[in-house]
Homo-oligomer: A and B are copies of this chain.
Amino acid sequence: MKKEKYKFIDLNYRPKNDLICLFRISPARGLSMKKAANTVALESSVGTWDKISGLSERIIKEKGAKVFSIKKDQVKIAYPVELFELKNMPSILSGIAGNVFGMKAVENLRLEDISFPKKIIKSFLGPRFGIKGIRKKLEIKKRPLIGTIVKPKLGLTSSQHAEYAYNSWKGGLDLVKSDENLTNQTFNKFKDRFKKTIKKMEKVEKETGEKKIYVENVSAETKEMIKRARFIQDNGGNCAMIDIITCGWASFQTLRNEDLDLIIHAHRAGHGMFTENPKHGMSMLTVAKIARIIGADNLHVGAIFGKMKGEKEDVINIKDEIEKQFLSKKHILNQKWYNVKPTFAVCSGGIHAGTIQKLVRVMGKDIIAQAGGGVSAHPLGVEAGAKSMRQAIDAVMKKIDLKEYAKTHKELRGAINRWGYLK
């Protein structure tokens, strides 16, 4: 009878080529963990709430999900790869991250991690450039990349935007990015802004002899988004940003599938809606893996020392996951990446020159450190703010303490005097 009741539990099962989910489950009041885990596995694969005639033993055996590990509240479930349509992230997530979050059988449910099998990973394109490709474009071998977000987020005209970008690049930044909610507002139209800003980029590249990246936001209805991305490509641009959460997975796939000669910069605005509660929702780690699989070249992962939440260990795990070819750590699932290119981790949100030293020590050199307010609110202006960031990177690469380096670099000094610094 017990066996009949929990058909989706098989603790002796050893997954091979399955997709594996690591859930944390808080069962509904009065329900055992076994019952709740069984319900999650059932609802996210082939089952429903009552025994139905069409659900044969064969279907359960061949296509049913299997709970194969229960340790305290951590439950691992294996899904046969045949359950999923390849190249279709929405469909995959509708199965394993769909109805299950709203079932009465669970008080809370957290999808901590997904380990994707080769067949699924290889059905997506992955990043076109990845870390190496972007470094090659910029001709920067080892140092962390630095960038800014044009601030204020909204309100500047397209000319002011271009001017801000020019000053930032001129001061030594590699990337200049529009904010995640700036698209095609009446006071700052997309094409107008792009044309003015790309001109400035061409100018500053000549003046400095450095290559630059201009991250412009294409987030919109899919067809309009693709139009804007093509406009960027056809007018000398090199990077398109998409808000992957508010646009959604289907359109992100579409953008990547166009295979334009553009770096894809993935912004995660809105993720906090479902990643912040440790007992419910989906982890940022999971979001990051999906973003790499689909093909983000750059992905916002958190800044640890800034204005946004994100535990140090979590952010490091995310960075490792999107940059390595194999990851095996406690509390997260093993993942092989089958030569999918690594994604650059973007650290952004409250960053300034004074945080750089510590940020690089913790996160390594394969990051993009972005400062918005930390550039624009510099007491000596935007260009000085940009310089302070570059000087901080120089100091780190020369292994000179920031405070020491600041003695002979007034822009870095200005930043540290305003915001302090982390050792």
Measured CB to CB, the residues of A under 8 A from B are 44-56, 59, 62-63, 82-85, 87-91, 93-95, 97-105, 108-109, 151-156, 160, 164, 180-181, 183-187, 219-225, 243, 245-254, 257, 267, 269-277, 280-282, 306-310, 349-350, 372-374, 376-377, 381-382, 418-419
- Give the residues in chain B near A99, CB-CB below 8 Å: 180, 269, 272, 308, 349
B276 and A101 within 8 A (CB): yes
**Given A102-B308, A183-B88, A308-B104, also A376-B48 (CB < 8 A):** yes
- Give the residues in chain B near A180, CB-CB below 8 Å: 94, 98-99
A221 and B155 within 8 A (CB): no
Contact of A151 among B55, B82, B102 (CB under 8 A): B55
A241 vs chain B, min Cβ distance (A): 10
- Give the residues in chain B near A84, CB-CB below 8 Å: 185
Contact of A377 among B48, B276, B374, B419 (CB under 8 A): B48
B248 and A152 within 8 A (CB): no
B222 and A251 within 8 A (CB): yes
Contact of A48 among B101, B152, B247, B277 (CB under 8 A): B152
Residue of B nearest to A418 (CB): B50
Residue of B nearest to A308 (CB): B102
A249 vs chain B, min Cβ distance (A): 6
A295 vs chain B, min Cβ distance (A): 12
Of the listed residues A84, A275, A276, A372, the one surrounded by the most CB atoms of chain B closer than 10 A to its CB is A276
Residue contacts A-B, CB under 8 angstroms, 15 given: A46-B152, A48-B151, A50-B373, A82-B186, A84-B185, A88-B219, A88-B220, A101-B272, A101-B276, A103-B308, A103-B309, A104-B309, A221-B254, A248-B248, A273-B273
A373 and B250 within 8 A (CB): no
**Given A90-B247, A376-B52, also A98-B221 (CB < 8 A):** no
Given contacts A46-B155, A222-B253, 11 further A-B contacts (CB under 8 A): A53-B382, A54-B156, A54-B160, A85-B184, A88-B220, A94-B180, A98-B246, A103-B272, A221-B250, A273-B280, A274-B274
A245 vs chain B, min Cβ distance (A): 8
